[in-house]
């Protein structure tokens, strides 16, 4: 045996030049493209027990002269011969093996391919030639195949780890039988990629009618996972390709169907699994060319199927539907139609049903009827929403759409879009809200682009609400980013907790470098969506904010372009009645501006100071004061995102009247014991006080006012001065000596005065005598924009004692003039609505 093998090797070695010469001669006669190889050799071992001619580093050019891309590159190409043929003097190729190769099949924009490598008139071996081709098998080992069609925008990439084929060639017929595994990298049609990174098991038989240029696909099987696809039909490529292909799927599930779709269609459903009978099949018939498309008809459906998501452990059961798709009579998007009929199923035992039809994919027209009973928690778990973190409760949904998709997206009519959502004790935790919505109960009715709310009640944190109203422009707001949403409603509440409400909306920021996913925007505080507009008539039994405890809130509130306005809000608080009107501009969350007119009637002073936390000072506090305040204030104030006042920008004018005023245990008054007993000074009572106070540049300006008290020796006290927000005081007090003793004819004269100055801060202050009066000054005060303020109250005017004689008009020893304010003007995009 060994001697026989040695002899065969030796014979091959001696005759290899003849074999290679015949091989090259036959290739040149049959091929019309150049083939290059680094070397050729004859081997007994490469394809044992057959003899083979092995070509190394093979390069095959394409048939298009202008195409520089090579048709094929291979590390090795084995052409095997039968030993018995060699002994009979016949050199017939029985098998071909291509290893470590790349094949690039291309069609240019004019539809010409680079794969016409065989001469058309030399398919049969010459009668006198000992060399021929009778292929019994073709094997592809680690071969990558690329197909590109520039005219149809198609791309196909395939890798064959191990694929075997049998090839039979005659003058008129080419038979190919192939079996093996192929790995599809991508099948790109236009901008969509199908079969991405999928492994196929192929068993097929192809018959090519060479004169008639027709490909017949005998019944073949393609396996993708558990699904088997039966494919059969014909492709006539004599001129433009004419297809008549049919396909039926068995054993398919959701994953098998999604494997055929591009990522943009399958991405959101990629995690879902299915059980039960899922089927589909279809036909492709007609011409496929740059000018025409074939007719595509697909039917699909399922019976008693179950769809579930492993991550969320939630399933839809007992699902049945029938569906169909066709590209229509014109084989184009404008005649395409998708239909889903008799859709039925259950989600957690709750039934749902519906029908869907989409026509004209170029300008889609939708018809939808759907109804469902929902367990909200299970519905959100099965199909999660990015804006909903947690939900539970019960809901009933009815929806009906009929119209062009563009109309439905922009401004549908009530005939085109209608439906109802009924909520029953729903809990909803939204991503952009700190507190959850709880006990949501009511009805929402879709009426075209608006949603009517006949009744809705619920809670947001500690606050509750119940009301009715209308949401305007809902569909555009949901479907088109940046579109406005307007709420017109009448809302009532038992409790409004503004400690939570003002900070309830905190939108999640887009993650940036070094920032955690899901973190809120920088500087959590008051946030108002730019697209939301409000027109609310509201009442509330109770209101809570910091120390404020209010009752019976009534009024109207508007919101437009992140500017709140109100013609009037009233509230019972601090033992009296408070009213507010004006505007609050929150377009810049770090610099919010409030321009308001605030009024109060009969508000106890001690309660007012307690609610406002003694206005941030400790000199005179709520424990020192009694009395009732009636006042009107025009205020321009600014706040940061935490609603902390920016006091350097505050400006106000306050018209105040205090009745039944009392001053209790006020330490500076104890230093006036030379006027009255300490017991009397510990409990001072005042007659009605009236004055106008001005606030500007972190300073409160107190014009001179007369205070009539229960102290006999100082029944009339005149006070003026300033008090800064840094608690620097500069008050000047004038007490007429022996008031009432001067003759009435001299009543205009001031008479002898005791002048005192109270200066310092609230913890370290002095009370001293002022020995002489100063001449009055009339400071010129610029508007708030200049940053100047009235001259200090320390510059008291000097006056002389009134002589006995004709009465002269006395000038006050100190006078604070009102700061000059610029009139408010609306800015671009703003308006006044008082």
412 token code pair: 């549908």
C-alpha to C-alpha distance for 314 and 309, rounded to whole angstroms? 6
Of residues 127 and 767, the one with the higher pLDDT is: 767
The per-residue pLDDT of the chain, averaged, comes to 78
What is the helix (H) or strand (E) element at residue 682, kind and residue range? helix 678-682
pLDDT score, position 795: 36
Long-range CB contact pairs, 296-303, < 8 A, 24+: 296/325, 296/326, 296/327, 296/331, 297/324, 297/325, 297/326, 298/324, 298/325, 298/326, 299/323, 299/324, 300/257, 300/324, 300/325, 302/274, 302/276, 302/277, 302/278, 303/276, 303/277
Query: How confident is the model over 159-182, as pLDDT tens digits?
Result: 888 778 777 767 677 788 888 888
pLDDT score, position 89: 65
pLDDT score, position 811: 40
pLDDT value at 433 more than 70:
yes
How many helices (H) and strands (E) in the chain? 11, 39
In the chain, what is the straight-line distance between the N-terminal and C-terminal CA atoms, in Å? Answer: 114
Query: How confident is the model over 393-405, as pLDDT tens digits?
Result: 999 999 999 999 8
C-alpha to C-alpha distance for 730 and 756, rounded to whole angstroms? 11
To 5 degrees, how large is the angle CA 476–CA 449–CA 534? 75
Q: Is residue 99 within 8 Å of 141, Cβ to Cβ?
A: yes
Work out the average pLDDT over 562-572: 90
Of residues 558 and 12, the one with the higher pLDDT is: 558
C-alpha to C-alpha distance for 742 and 571, rounded to whole angstroms? 48
Of residues 194 and 693, the one with the higher pLDDT is: 693
Q: Is residue 196 within 8 Å of 211, Cβ to Cβ?
A: no
Most confident of 153-157, 159-163, 261-265, 450-454: 450-454
- Sign for the CA dihedral angle at 733, 738, 739, 745 comes to negative
Query: How confident is the model over 69-82, as pLDDT tens digits?
Result: 888 899 988 888 77
Q: Is residue 180 within 8 Å of 203, Cβ to Cβ?
A: no
pLDDT value at 355 more than 70:
yes
C-alpha to C-alpha distance for 16 and 20, rounded to whole angstroms? 6
**Tell me, what DSSP letter sits at residue 738?**
S
pLDDT value at 832 more than 50:
no
Q: What is the pTM of this model?
A: 0.64
Cα 358 to Cα 268, 656, 709: the distances in Å are: 20, 69, 86
Query: How confident is the model over 716-733, as pLDDT tens digits?
Result: 788 899 988 888 889 888
Query: How confident is the model over 780-790, as pLDDT tens digits?
Result: 333 333 333 34
Most confident of 54-58, 94-98, 419-423, 497-501: 419-423
Nearest alpha carbon to residue 562 among 604, 530, 519: 530
Query: How confident is the model over 442-456, as pLDDT tens digits?
Result: 999 999 989 999 999
pLDDT score, position 264: 67
Query: How confident is the model over 212-241, as pLDDT tens digits?
Result: 888 898 998 888 877 888 999 998 877 778
Q: State the CB neighbour count (10 A cutoff) for residue 211.
A: 9
pLDDT score, position 128: 52
Q: Is residue 813 within 8 Å of 793, Cβ to Cβ?
A: no
Work out the average pLDDT over 535-553: 88
β-pair partners for 310 = none
pLDDT value at 708 more than 60:
yes
pLDDT band at 424 (very low <50, low <70, confident <90, very high): very high
- Alpha-helical runs (H) found in 328-386: 376-382
Of residues 586 and 264, the one with the higher pLDDT is: 586
- Sign for the CA dihedral angle at 180, 184, 185, 189 comes to positive
Work out the average pLDDT over 404-433: 90
C-alpha to C-alpha distance for 742 and 804, rounded to whole angstroms? 11
pLDDT score, position 371: 94
Nearest alpha carbon to residue 184 among 138, 144, 152: 144
């Amino acid at each position: 045996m060994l001697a026989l093998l040695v002899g065969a090797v030796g014979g091959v070695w001696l005759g290899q030049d003849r074999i290679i010469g015949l091989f090259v001669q036959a290739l040149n006669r049959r091929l019309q493209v150049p083939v290059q190889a680094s070397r050729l050799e004859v081997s007994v071992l490469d394809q044992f027990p057959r003899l083979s001619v092995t070509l190394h580093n093979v390069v095959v050019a394409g048939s298009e002269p202008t195409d520089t891309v090579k048709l094929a590159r291979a590390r090795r190409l084995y052409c095997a011969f039968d030993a018995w043929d060699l002994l009979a003097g016949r050199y017939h190729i029985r098998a071909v093996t291509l290893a470590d190769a790349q094949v690039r099949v291309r069609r240019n924009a004019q539809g010409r391919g680079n794969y016409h490598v065989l001469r058309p008139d030399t398919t049969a071996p010459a009668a006198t030639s000992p060399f021929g081709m009778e292929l019994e098998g073709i094997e592809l080992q680690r071969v990558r195949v690329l197909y590109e069609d520039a005219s149809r925008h198609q791309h196909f990439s395939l890798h064959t780890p191990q694929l075997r084929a049998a090839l039979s060639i005659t003058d008129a017929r080419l038979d190919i039988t192939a079996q093996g595994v192929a790995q599809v990298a991508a099948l790109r049609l236009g901008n969509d990629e199908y079969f991405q990174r999928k492994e196929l098991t192929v068993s097929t038989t192809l018959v090519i009618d060479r004169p008639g240029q027709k490909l017949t696909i005998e019944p073949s099987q393609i396996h993708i996972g558990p699904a088997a696809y039966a494919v059969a039909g014909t492709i006539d490529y004599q001129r433009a390709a004419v297809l008549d292909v049919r396909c039926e799927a068995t054993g398919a599930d959701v994953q098998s169907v999604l494997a055929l779709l591009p990522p943009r269609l399958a991405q959101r459903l990629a995690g879902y699994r299915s059980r039960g009978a899922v089927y589909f099949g279809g036909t492709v018939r007609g011409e496929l060319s740059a000018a025409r498309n074939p007719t595509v008809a697909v039917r699909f459906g399922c019976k008693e199927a179950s769809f579930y998501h492993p991550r969320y452990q939630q399933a839809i059961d007992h699902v049945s539907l029938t569906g169909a798709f066709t590209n229509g009579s014109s084989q184009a998007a404008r005649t395409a139609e998708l239909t889903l009929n008799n859709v039925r199923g259950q989600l957690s035992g709750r039934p749902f049903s519906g029908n869907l039809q989409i026509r004209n994919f170029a300008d889609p027209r939708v018809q939808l009827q759907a109804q469902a009973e929902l367990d909200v928690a299970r519905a959100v778990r099965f199909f999660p929403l990015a804006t909903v973190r947690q939900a539970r409760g019960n809901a009933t949904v009815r929806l009906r759409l009929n119209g062009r998709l563009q109309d439905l997206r922009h401004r549908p009519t009530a005939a085109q879009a209608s439906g109802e959502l009924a909520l029953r004790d729903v809990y909803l935790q939204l991503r952009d809200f700190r507190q959850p919505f709880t006990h949501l109960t009511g009805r929402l009715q879709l009426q075209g682009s608006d949603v009517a709310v006949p009744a809705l009640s619920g809670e947001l944190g500690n606050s509750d609400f119940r009301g009715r109203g209308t949401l305007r422009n809902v569909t555009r707001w949901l479907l088109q980013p940046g579109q406005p949403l307007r709420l017109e409603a009448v809302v009532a509440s038992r409790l409004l907790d503004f400690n939570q409400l003002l900070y309830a909306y905190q939108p999640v920021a887009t993650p940036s470098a070094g920032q955690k996913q899901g973190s809120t925007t920088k500087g959590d505080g008051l946030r108002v969506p730019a697209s939301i507009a409000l027109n609310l008539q509201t009442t509330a039994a109770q209101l809570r904010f910091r120390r404020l405890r209010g009752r019976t809130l009534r009024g109207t509130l508007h919101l437009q372009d992140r500017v709140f306005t109100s013609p009037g809000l009233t509230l019972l608080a601090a033992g009296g009645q408070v009213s507010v009107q004006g505007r609050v501009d929150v377009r810049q969350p770090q610099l919010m501006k409030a321009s308001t007119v605030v009024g109060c009637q009969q508000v106890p002073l001690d309660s007012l100071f307690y609610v406002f936390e003694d206005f941030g000072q400790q000199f005179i506090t709520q424990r020192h004061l009694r009395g009732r305040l009636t006042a009107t204030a025009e205020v321009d104030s600014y706040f940061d995102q935490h609603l902390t006042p920016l006091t350097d920008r505050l400006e106000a004018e306050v018209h105040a009247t205090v009745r039944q005023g009392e001053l209790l245990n006020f330490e500076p008054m104890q230093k006036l014991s030379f006027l009255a007993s300490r017991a009397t000074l510990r409990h001072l009572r005042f007659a009605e006080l009236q004055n106008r106070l001005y606030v500007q540049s972190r300073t409160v300006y107190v014009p001179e006012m007369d205070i009539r008290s229960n102290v006999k020796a100082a029944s009339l006290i005149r006070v003026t001065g300033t008090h800064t927000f840094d608690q620097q005081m500069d008050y000047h007090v004038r007490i007429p000596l022996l008031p009432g003793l001067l003759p009435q004819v001299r009543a205009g004269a001031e008479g002898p005065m005791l002048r005192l100055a109270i200066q310092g801060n609230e913890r370290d202050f002095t009370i001293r005598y002022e020995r002489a009066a100063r001449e009055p000054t009339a400071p010129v005060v610029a508007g708030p924009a200049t940053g100047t303020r009235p001259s200090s109250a320390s510059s008291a005017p000097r006056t002389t004692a009134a002589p006995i004689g004709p009465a002269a008009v006395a000038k006050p020893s100190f006078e604070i003039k009102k700061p000059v304010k610029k009139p408010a003007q609306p800015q671009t995009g703003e308006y006044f609505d008082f």
